[in-house]
Amino acid sequence: MAGIDSENKNINSSAPGAGGSQDPTAGAPGMFEFDSIRQLVQAWKNGTFGEIMDDWRWIFTYSRKFKGAIIFYIILGIVSTTLGLAASVASKYMIDIITGYKYDKLPILIGVMLGSAAVSLIINNMLSRFTLKLSISINNEIQADIFDKIVDSEWLSLSKFTNGDILNRFGSDTSTVANNAISWLPSIIIALYNFIATFAVIWHYNKVMAVLAFGMAPVMLLMSRFLIRRQREYGRKVREMSSRVMSFQVETFYNLDTIKSFGITKLYQKKLRGWQDRYKDIQLDYNKFSIKTGVFLSVMGMAVQYTAFGYCLYLLWHHMISYGTMTLFLEQRGKLASAFNNVVSIIPNFLNSSISAHRIRELVELPKERHVDRKDDLPPETGTDGYTVQMHDVDFSYVDGRRVITDSGFIARPGEIVALIGPSGEGKTTMIRLILGLIHPENGQVTISCKAGEQLPMNADYRYLFSYVPQGNTILSGTVAENLRMAKEDASDEEIIEALKTACAWDFIKDMPGTINCRIGERGRGFSEGQSQRIAIARAILRDAPVMLLDEATSALDVATEREVLRNIITQRRDRTCIVTTHRPTVLNMASRIYRVVDTHVTQLTEEESSRMAVDF
């Protein structure tokens, strides 16, 4: 059905995450169906067919939620196809009436034709609107569900995927699944009905003509094996080159400041043109192949078409058919070929959706974070005398056999600043992740406890007790107020200003146009590194949690500002526990205790070692 087919193409091309580069396999209907059937047979033999069915059972968990809409979709599609055939048959009789000069039934046939066309037009437009709304709804539902599961996955398991891979699965693969979760079953039913009904109409009038109309299908199947191999080869080259060009462009713009500072912009301009030339050569080579195969297929198609046309002329010459029947044959021959392609193309769509579903399932089936059994068991954030964070005999490895933390202990109490020091890459940030419950010890335990309370093993639900300032620039584009309200959505302007003052950030924010409503560029553009750090610290202060974690968060501040910020943090909330990873002497002089992380061991320094360490730093 033309209306449905074109609508599905529009949906796929506009789906979120769809790539903009040319797909070398597009525009060649019928090329891949034979290979797709072979893949299904092979999957059945090697035992992976069950995995494909598991992927589709997962897809159908979403389809079941829209079963009423799917049934409505199928009914509209069948009605639209039937009306199209009725209009074609009516046009045959109209031609016969006119050529035979019999006008008695002409008004009825005109009414049938116009009525069928009008109803078909209405249905096709309804389908267009209905399909788009349905596709958006299920895409949003799947994305929201997947997003919820991804953000609740264990940090260590999720970190094995690159951000680009996660985004690609979340965008492109989700769109593929969303489109086919709704349209795949209706497409099968409607395409089969369209093919069978069209073939039956031609068969009813002439069996030989029905066979001729079906004549191009075997040619397409026989050619598929050769064409698929070549198409995939070119497709792989084009996609690989497209990815390389994209990577070059992203890295160039991301590091544009560095490129400019080295004065090598001309070198990168030359590199871009080199990538463009290589991409052009591959595209032109593929285009030459496409022209050759296109000419061959066109010749074969014309041969079938002219054979059918010649047979129609023969029948007409011998008065075995009427002009109207000949018109019907020729019109429906093209529709039958299209219907056949639609039926067989369902198989590659079936496989593609399975692949996308499998890629998504790899994310959503990752191990989940640890949570408390009952929300009533959560400790209060306020009204206590603060919280003690403690590690007991902890062992941890990211990779088996490569220990990062070994048999180590640690404690930080309310009202204390506790420093973590050590060489870069020795495990200080790993300590922070353990404390936050992002990762969990292989042996030992990380706990949090209030005064006279039991020690509770860390999990995801206790993170509301923490404010965290990680390493690096964590400022997002938007206003200063929007950045701070990430930590507390309902914060008033007065609370935001107070947090900025505590972090020594109000000194420069008050002079900005719009003050807290001034705009910040991507990655804090427009502010210095020290200013960005103070805004990030203000965000953590606004959170007003009983435990604060600062991971090299004051590295860009001068000594006087750093001391003032740390003093403000402790003064603002006397029961606050503050844990800092640092190399700065200011922090060491203010710390209640210093722990050193080196050679996978965390050890507390003595007072003498702490004093000497502060001087040495």
The percentage of residues in the chain with a pLDDT greater than 70, rounded to a whole number, is: 76
Assign 342 a pLDDT band (cuts: 50, 70, 90). low
What is the pLDDT at residue 216?
57
Say if residue 390's pLDDT is above 60. Answer: yes
Tens of pLDDT, residues 535-571:
889 999 998 888 999 888 777 788 888 888 888 888 8
Say if residue 466's pLDDT is above 50. Answer: yes
| Mean pLDDT of all residues in 490-509 | 90
Q: Which long-range contacts (CB under 8 A, 24 or more apart) does 424-428 make?
A: 426/597, 426/598, 426/599, 426/600, 427/597, 427/600, 427/602, 428/551, 428/581, 428/597
Look up tokens 């929007």; give the residue. 482
Query: Quick one: tokens of 27?
Result: 């525009």
Assign 494 a pLDDT band (cuts: 50, 70, 90). very high
Question: CB-based burial of residue 2 (10 Å sphere; 0-12 exposed, 13-18 middle, 19+ buried)?
Answer: middle
- Cross-sheet strand order for the sheet of 417-421: 466-469, 547-551, 577-581, 417-421, 593-598, 601-604
- Distance (Å, whole) CA 272 – CA 203: 58
What is the pLDDT at residue 495?
92
How many CA atoms are closer than 13 Å to the CA of 604, on its beta-carbon side? 12
- Distance (Å, whole) CA 90 – CA 540: 74
Say if residue 111's pLDDT is above 60. Answer: yes
SS3 457: strand
Say if residue 6's pLDDT is above 50. Answer: no
Residue 373 is classified by DSSP as: S
SS3 519: strand
Say if residue 35's pLDDT is above 60. Answer: no
Radius of gyration of the chain (CA): 34
- Closest by CA to 138, choosing from 68, 53, 188, 190, is 68
Query: Quick one: tokens of 212?
Result: 């001729």
Q: CA 236, 242, 243, 248 torsion: positive or negative?
A: positive
| Mean pLDDT of all residues in 123-131 | 73
What is the pLDDT at residue 27?
40
| Mean pLDDT of all residues in 343-371 | 78
Tens of pLDDT, residues 580-606:
888 777 777 788 888 988 888 888 887
For the chain, the straight-line distance linking the first and the last C-alpha, in angstroms and rounded, comes to 76
Check residues 362 and 9 and name the one with the higher pLDDT: 362
